[in-house]
Amino acid sequence: MGKIVDMLFELKEYRYVKPFRIAHNVADSSTNLEVTLILENGVEGKGEAAPSYRVNGERIETFMSLRDFILGEIKGLDVRNYRVIFKIMDGLRCAPSVKAAVQYAVLDALSVECGVPVYQLLGGARDHVETDKTVGIGTLEEMVEEARKLWREGFTLIKVKVGEDLREDIRKLEAISDATKGAKYIVDANTGYTVKEAITFAREMHARGIDVVVFEQPLPAEDIDGLKIVRFNSPLPVAADESARTRYDVLRLIKEEAVDFVNIKLMKSGISDALAIVEMATTANIGLMIGCMGESSLGISQSVHFASGTGVFMYCDLDSFLMLEEKEFRGKFRRDVNKLIPT
C-alpha cells in the first residue's frame, strides 16, 4: 500500500551565481518550496516548486500556509491512484508550481514503490536529453563573452535573452553568432516586443542566416491574436511560453493556429497539464521544448525525467540549476556537459 500519511513543506533560498536579467526583470535568487510526501510504509517522494510571480501570478509567501489544506485533501490516498491526486491538485490554481511539486512527489514515491525510475513510469522514450544554457541580458560585450564561454564548454544550443531594444538585440545576435559559429540559438523576448518588432526581428535573423531554431514569446501573454500575426509572418518558428500555461491555453493556441512551438514548464502546468499538452501538441504537429523557472537540481530532476520519459522535446532549456549556488546536488540524474541523464 502506498497511502500518503504526511507531507513536509520546506522553503529554501538559492542565490544566482550572478544576477539573471531578462526583459524588464532581474532575479538575484530563487526561493523554492521542497515537498516531501511520506507514505505509510515509510517511502518518501520529493518534489520542488520554483514559483514565478511574473508568469504564474503565484507568491512564495503563501506556500507554507497551503500545506495543511493540501495534506487534508490528499491524506489517505494511495500514490498508485495518482490520477485522483492529480485531479485534486488541478484545483490549486493559486500556486501552479506547488501543484507541480506535489504531483511530481507522487510519481517519485510511486517510482520507489514500483522499483522503476520516474522517466520509465512515463514511458522511457529516451535515456537522456540535452540542455541549452542561457545568456541573460547584458552589454553586447558581456553577452558575446558569455556565449563564447558556453560554446567552448560544449553547449551547442545557446539561449539568448532579448526583448528590451530591437536594434540592439539584432546587433547582439549578430555578434554572438560571429563568436560561436556552428551553434544554434533559442531567442527569448519574454513578452518584450510589439507585433511589428517581433516580425522585424525574425526577418532580420533569417536574412542574416543566424540559426535561430525557436523564437520564444515575443508578445505579452494575453495577445494571442498578435501572436498569430507574428507566426504567419515569421520565418522562424514562434513559441508560446508565458501564453501557454495550462492545457486550455494550449488548446486555444492550437485552435487559433497561433504558434509553431510550445515551451512546456512543469512549474506552469504541473505533471497533469504537461502530459495533456504533450498529447495535444504532438497531435497538432506543434513543436515542443521544455523550460524551467528557478529550479535547483531537485526541481530540474523532475523535468529531466519528464522529458526523457515522454521523449517529445526537440529542445530542452533545463539550465537553472547551473545558474544557482547550491551546496549539494540532489537530482536523480547526472550531467555530462550538456547531457542530462536520468538515473
Instruction: Kindly tell me which residue out of 5, 11, 17, 116 binds its own copies, with binding defined by CB under 8 A.
Output: 116
**CA dihedral angle for residue 265, residue 270, residue 275, residue 280, rounded to 10 degrees:** -60
Stretch 268-297 residues interacting with its own copies (CB under 8 A):
275-276, 278-280, 282-284
Contact assessment for residue 276 and residue 118, using Cβ atoms and an 8 Å cutoff: no
How far apart, in whole angstroms, are the C-alpha atoms of residue 37 and residue 224?
Answer: 38
For position 138 contacting its own copies by CB under 8 A, the verdict is no
Instruction: Kindly tell me which residue out of 32, 134, 180, 310 binds its own copies, with binding defined by CB under 8 A.
Output: 310
For position 209 contacting its own copies by CB under 8 A, the verdict is no
Residue 65 CB, nearest approach to its own copies (Å): 29
Query: Is 161 labeled as catalytic in the residue annotation?
Result: yes
Q: Which stretch binds its own copies (CB under 8 A): 29-37, 82-90, 205-213, 294-302?
A: 82-90
Closer of 87 and 208 to its own copies (Cβ)? 87
Instruction: Kindly tell me which residue out of 121, 221, 224, 341 binds its own copies, with binding defined by CB under 8 A.
Output: 121
The SS3 assignment for 318 reads coil
Q: Which stretch binds its own copies (CB under 8 A): 54-62, 182-190, 307-315, 333-341?
A: 307-315
For position 248 contacting its own copies by CB under 8 A, the verdict is yes
Helices (H) and strands (E) in the chain, counts: 13, 14
Task: Please identify which residue in the block is written with the cell numbers 506543434.
Answer: 286
- Provide the grid cell at 160: 539568448
Task: Please identify which residue in the block is written with the cell numbers 536594434.
Answer: 167
Q: Which stretch binds its own copies (CB under 8 A): 22-30, 44-52, 79-87, 213-221?
A: 79-87
DSSP string, 56-106: H---GGGHHHHHHHHHHHHTT-BGGGHHHHHHHHTT-TT-HHHHHHHHHHH
The set of catalytic residues is 161, 265
